[in-house]
Amino acid sequence: MVEFSFLQPDRPAAFKDKFVTKVNECLTSYSDGARGEVGVLGLPLSKTSISLSQSSEAPNSIRACLSAFTTFSGKKDTDYKNIKVLDFGDVQVHPTDMEESIERIRISVREMLTRNACNRYILLGGDHGISYPSIRAFGEHYGKIGVIQWDAHHDVRNLEDGGRTNGTPFRSLMEGGHLKGDNLIQIGIRDFANAKVYHEYTKEKGVTIYTIDDIECTGIEPIIKKELDRLSNFVDIIYLSVDMDVVDQAFAPGCPAIGPGGITSRELLSSISAAASHQKVKAMDLVEIDPSKDFRDMTSRLAAAAMLRFMYTV
């Protein structure tokens, strides 16, 4: 006779402390009529990447890494375990048609927003190509949109050499009339990472650019706060687009376009906290993580930590 069984069908063999709540435990699958503070949607598209990438696997990788964090903030002496996060799952992209996939993402983001289920949203890429349909959908729903883009690159490549890719989202948005150049802020642009013609293009469009040198001189949080104050006078909502290759390769080795000289993980997290506290900030995307290139999930863990800074701002 077996006195006690340690068999656990369909359950992981994980230690559970009854006093600890992990962030992944707060994710609830969306159902009709549900309400939550934050909505999460996966956009697993990597076919628009100009380099080989498995960033389509990132939404699941980032979600899994939420189990590494608790809901308690010692800094704020606050437990956020009652903050409800609705998970809308992943958009089913087309297996071969990139334009169809882009349109599916736009439609899906619009559908999520029309449910009016959450106050703010997190979009998990995917490569940076997902930002074009996502930002477009937010603009269609809310009105005039402003964007703060963390990135080593301008992402305004021409559309003739390959169509819409992860290097073209902001050119597509500006030329499509979905985003004014004056309402785009680029933070962390790295030296020797862009072509002169694209640098000149952003200047012509009125894009505000802060390089790594600017961050070193001024600090990243004062830049964020300054641009939030300015943008809020001209737009209805503000969208944060975080390309993880803005972070130095030492902290984010799982990016397809890693490079030295980027911002630190602490600079990324502190700047997202500063931005997320603004009332007009409604959404954030996290893009350009390839789990197959990562080391011990370092980049996905950083993205998960960024999610916490966005979700738990009060």
pLDDT score at 314: 61
Residue 302 binned pLDDT confidence (cut-offs 50, 70, 90):
very high
pLDDT digits (tens, 9 = 90+) for 167-187: 999 999 999 999 999 999 999
Average pLDDT, whole number, for the chain? 95
pLDDT at residue 112 tops 60: yes
pLDDT at residue 262 tops 90: yes
Residue 107 binned pLDDT confidence (cut-offs 50, 70, 90):
very high
Query: Which domains, and CATH codes, for the chain?
Result: 23-311 (3.40.800.10)
Three-class DSSP labels, the chain: CCCCCCCCCCCCCCCCCCCCCEHHHHEEECCCCCCCCEEEEEECCCCCCCCCCCHHHHHHHHHHHHHHCECEECCCCEECCCCCEEEEEECCCCCCCHHHHHHHHHHHHHHHHHCCCCCEEEEEECCHHHHHHHHHHHHHHHCCEEEEEECCCCCCCCCCCCCCCCCCHHHHHHHCCCCCHHHEEEEEECCCCCCHHHHHHHHHCCCEEEEHHHHHHHCHHHHHHHHHHHHCCCCCEEEEEEEHHHECCCCCCCCCCCCCCCECHHHHHHHHHHHHCCCCEEEEEEECCCHHHCCCCHHHHHHHHHHHHHHCCC
Residue 223 binned pLDDT confidence (cut-offs 50, 70, 90):
very high
Question: What's the rounded mean pLDDT across residues 200-214?
Answer: 98
pLDDT score at 1: 54
Question: What's the rounded mean pLDDT across residues 221-230?
Answer: 98
pLDDT at residue 253 tops 60: yes
pLDDT at residue 20 tops 90: yes
Known binding-site residue numbers: 128, 151, 153, 155, 243, 245
Known binding-site residue numbers for Mn(2+): 128, 151, 153, 155, 243, 245
pLDDT score at 14: 80
Percent of the chain residues topping a pLDDT of 90 = 90
pLDDT digits (tens, 9 = 90+) for 74-83: 999 999 999 9
pLDDT at residue 124 tops 60: yes
